[in-house]
Structure 1
């Protein structure tokens, strides 16, 4: 059982958090947001990233006596929340202090009166060893009490925390596609401030925080979307929340209200079976392989009932050079492990979108497309998955075998696009292509 204030090391994670109840009555902790830890800053694939040299002059030293204000959108709101902080790829103990959670207003400002202190085992400070992670105590969110909770759908939470530092290498999720904020080095603890004056620097990434739970009715199903940059949202709209999991979320909430949650565990550049090894000393832009992160990014989370797995294109790129057989067997191994760890889990296979003709040096070649088609045939016909979502059919241009032309231009930068990552139009089509019955647990 994962208790608030319990440190989790790399070697043996505690029992899944989904088993812990939120308190007396029919509530349980339910995953409301994830931002999968992928490596030490600055190794990764951010999108629309501002210049970070003023906030973090020396990446090796990391954060130094400054405060982060991370902005994120919970897919579900509850009266209480808890936060999971991570030092997965740190090489020094990570000190946290002055942690707060409040309702985002705009920029780095919070709705006045909404900011609440967050504790760890009753203490205002905590230290996480290298490779570890830590759940906070429950924090009351009075603004999320019924009947106000329904009005919070789509609103964003601001999590602020002081890192006395220097932190050393910072564990991060590079591609947030959401603007967050950082105070200058040496500026001290600013998390209690509800204004924005203390946070001049912006970032398009999330640091040190990788999960948020909300107290929700016990049994609320969580659909976790697992994959690479096409799940992470490359080429979608900055601050627009129009990745395909976001589209799926809005569709499900439109009919089910708060009786479901959809969370995103994509990492730009991620592979099913590669790289063969990963460490803070030997990082890779796409993070650890999907198989290496199953425990942290799926099994240890709360209330996961369905996993939608979209991955493989990076394995078949010139960065991965994996065979079809290796990726097929990796998916089999991953699904077997997930089902063994989470009884009754529904695992949905998603066909891989086309990259033929991509302008990316690592993608777009005929051999990659041939392996992609082999993998898609296995996903559709191999009997491994409980259901199949056909993203290939939703995005492929029959005339060229590549992405449909209207899905190519980049939605954030206005650039020509790389013919690998769908834009908003493509992600909308993908999110609309998911049959709700395919992803919702049966019974």
Structure 2
């Protein structure tokens, strides 16, 4: 078992394995003779139906979606998202996982965001489904689009790093209950109900309503050199990014991705599969009629949110805080057994995947009513002992000491103030500085397939 908390060695080790990555360390999208494959560049684990969830900094949604039961009605959404690698072609996955009626989408476009709800002129590309302009997704289902060319990404120019896509689509009729990802920490845009198909427009006049969530879209693939590594960061609100900066892209997986990009430009994808409030083993049931703010339990969503993504090579699991809260009340034995089962499923379905356990950070003294009590912390420390020494994982990412104030047992004071909306913070979720410290505690090289162990 490897220890990933040796960042001083990271740069040298990353350079040493450059040749083992497709295209080498400086490649920008070519892999002569190696072929190409779909790679998930961005994802947002779905939950629902709206409005059940834990959004952050959410504007008033009643003008965009007056009736949660009706959902979106003859209107267009323009979702803003940041790919972690860029290819010459993309494809999109739309989900109706928690819908109760068929979802009809048409007028789908993808282009570069210019600013706000505007699309950079000349980049907006139409998206097809089986050659058709629209698709009907049954309740509980999802649908991949056809490949769509991204002329602006040909050769993956360096200036695309950190740029964002605008994915626009029209909901024909009423969607009914909406599958969504509550905590985007990214502003997207919605037309008024009844506005019709507006995705082809490059301007922002038709998209007056902001939202801090993503709806229906849950994955974007890029065509990349075969073997491009994909790291999935899986967990709860501390992976989803609660208390990080709105529109700042500074959750710990974001910082990790930028560190990897610095050494291997456009060579490693990092996907965030966190859901605020998520648990390893609870709730026992989840669905449109039995929703839960934290989304489906980890063991219920591994298939859709990890195994059904493209090209996954590494998996980082940071979870357990909510299982031990007053909302979860799980035993340490239930959570450790759940993790063993989850890891076994991953290895069975995806042979060769590298699975890493991340230690759970302290919530002792939290102002949240469900968190911060001594028994929760005792269980957290026992879970961390299991992660560090249980032999379940291929390696350990030790986040705990990066956040812990050893004099109090709680979070270090500089990590407490909330970076999203200001204010005192809750001593449960690290702020931007805390997420930065977590990401800097990782040895990125150890996540890359083919790396020789130090």
Alignment of 1:10-409 (within 5 A): 26-146=35-155, 148-409=156-417
CA contact (8 A) 1:229 1:266 kept: yes
Q: Deviations over 1:29-88 (max 9, x none)?
A: 000000010111000000000000000000000000000000000001110000000000
Aligned twin of 1:18: none
- Corresponding residue SS for 1:262: strand
Q: Distance in 2 between matches of 1:272 and 1:435?
A: 25
Q: TM-score, normalised by structure 1?
A: 0.94
Q: Deviations over 1:109-137 (max 9, x none)?
A: 01001000000000001100000000000
Q: Deviations over 1:164-190 (max 9, x none)?
A: 121100000000000000000000000
- Corresponding residue SS for 2:342: helix
- Corresponding residue SS for 1:65: strand
Q: Distance in 1 between matches of 2:416 and 2:302?
A: 31
- Corresponding residue SS for 2:313: strand
Matched, 1:440 2:448: yes
Q: Distance in 2 between matches of 1:176 and 1:375?
A: 28
Q: Deviations over 1:182-211 (max 9, x none)?
A: 000000000000000000000000000000
Question: What displacement does 1:25 show?
Answer: 6.7
CA contact (8 A) 1:38 1:287 kept: yes
Which blocks of at least 5 consecutive residues in structure 2 are unaligned?
1-32
Question: What displacement does 1:258 show?
Answer: 1.4
CA contact (8 A) 1:223 1:306 kept: yes
C-alpha RMSD of matched pairs (Å): 1.1
Q: Distance in 2 between matches of 1:220 and 1:172?
A: 28
Query: In the alignment, which of 414, 426, 439 is matched to residue 418 of structure 1?
Result: 426
Aligned twin of 1:6: none
Q: Distance in 2 between matches of 1:134 and 1:104?
A: 24
Q: Distance in 2 between matches of 1:364 and 1:25?
A: 51
- Corresponding residue SS for 1:39: coil
Deviates more, 1:429-438 or 1:272-281: 429-438
Q: Which runs of 4+ in 1 moved over 3 A?
A: none
Q: Deviations over 1:403-425 (max 9, x none)?
A: 10000000011111000000000
Q: TM-score, normalised by structure 2?
A: 0.92
Number of residue equivalences: 420
Question: What displacement does 1:304 show?
Answer: 0.3
Question: What displacement does 1:442 show?
Answer: 2.8
- Corresponding residue SS for 2:271: strand
Q: Distance in 2 between matches of 1:438 and 1:93?
A: 43
Q: Distance in 2 between matches of 1:270 and 1:304?
A: 21
